[in-house]
Amino acid sequence: MSTQTLTERPARSTLFDGMTRYIPIGATVALLLALYFGGVANYRNFDKPQVIANLFIDNAPLLVIAVGMTFVILSGGIDLSVGSVMAFSTMTCAWLTVEAGLSAPLVVALVLVFGTGWGLLIGAVIHYFNVQPFIATLVGLFLFRGLTLQISTSDMSMREVKFFQWGMTHVEVGGGIRQGGFWLPYLSFAAIAVVAVAFVVLHYTRFGRGVYAVGGNEQSALLMGLPVARTKIGVYVVSGFCASLAGVLAAFATKSADPLRHVGAELDAIAAVVIGGTLLTGGAGFVLGTLAGVMVWGLLNTLIQFQGNLSSWWARIVMGVLLLAFILLQRGLARSGEKRRT
């Protein structure tokens, strides 16, 4: 075998490995387009701009916790507490403003600080005590769901609190629905801003590069002198903040708090992240892929609504099938890469 062949093969293999990381997100975008154009072909008014805008309205809290989950999964971890933290945050907003009479802006600030602090605590436990993320965050899932039910076992309304009218205050684009445009509330812009900030952090900052490095190989990251402890704890801080922010956005959206709402939200977030192309083992993925994954979930629910005679559970059934398919796709690509390297 010639020297030229030996030198060309690693270069081609590296190039192919670099391209394969785009295959899952490419599949997600293709699926998203197929769902949308399938809806346009089969349902009247599906092509209205407001249909797309509604995806950002109905799924704003899910999008925010999915962004936080993206950081965690990229680092090789998992966070099962986000759904419960989200519900606890919404319920805390309701109780502190309605029952305790505290100022709503102060309550929102306290809730965000609490979520960030929880992420800092659980991240430190995972890193310094070498606890598996699944077990550590499972504690939060049970703890905060129980605390939420301790605050109230029934729905609490926040409609009398003027501050929470802000969330659904909207901006009309293109003249609004009557003139062929659409409207978006401020809470949707907040969710989009979270995606934009996460994109910049992951791709253009030292912390973001550290997240990818730790998720790819923690030992190699240590040998390279990267701040592994700070990075591992940092991703849970981000996730905790996003979970509490999602709870605040849910309070703005519904102006109420239900202790049993958001059950399973952590699983929806994980599914959106994986379907968006992020590897469950960490080290590869894109926050814009997570956005696409959330939009897939939203389009499935929208299609069911337009159909009119299907149970909403069909969206979860289809999502489960898609999740399995994307996991198998990831494993297939990983095995293919291993064979090429050997």
The CATH number of domain 22-334, selected from 1.10.3470, 1.10.1220, 1.10.287, 1.10.10: 1.10.3470
- Decide: helix, strand or coil at residue 173: strand
Radius of gyration of the chain (CA): 21
Q: Which sequence spans correspond to the domains of the chain?
A: 22-334
Mean pLDDT across the chain: 85
Q: pLDDT tens digits for 197-242?
A: 999 999 999 999 999 999 888 888 888 888 889 999 999 999 999 9
Q: pLDDT tens digits for 50-76?
A: 889 999 988 999 999 999 999 999 999
Per-residue model confidence (pLDDT) at position 202: 93
For the cut 90, the answer to whether the pLDDT of residue 269 exceeds it is yes
86 closest CA partner among 119, 133, 57: 119
8-state DSSP, 184: E
The size of the chain, in residues, is 342
pTM of the model: 0.89
* Residue at 300: amino acid letter: L
| Largest pairwise CA distance in the chain | 79
Tokens of 98: 């309605």
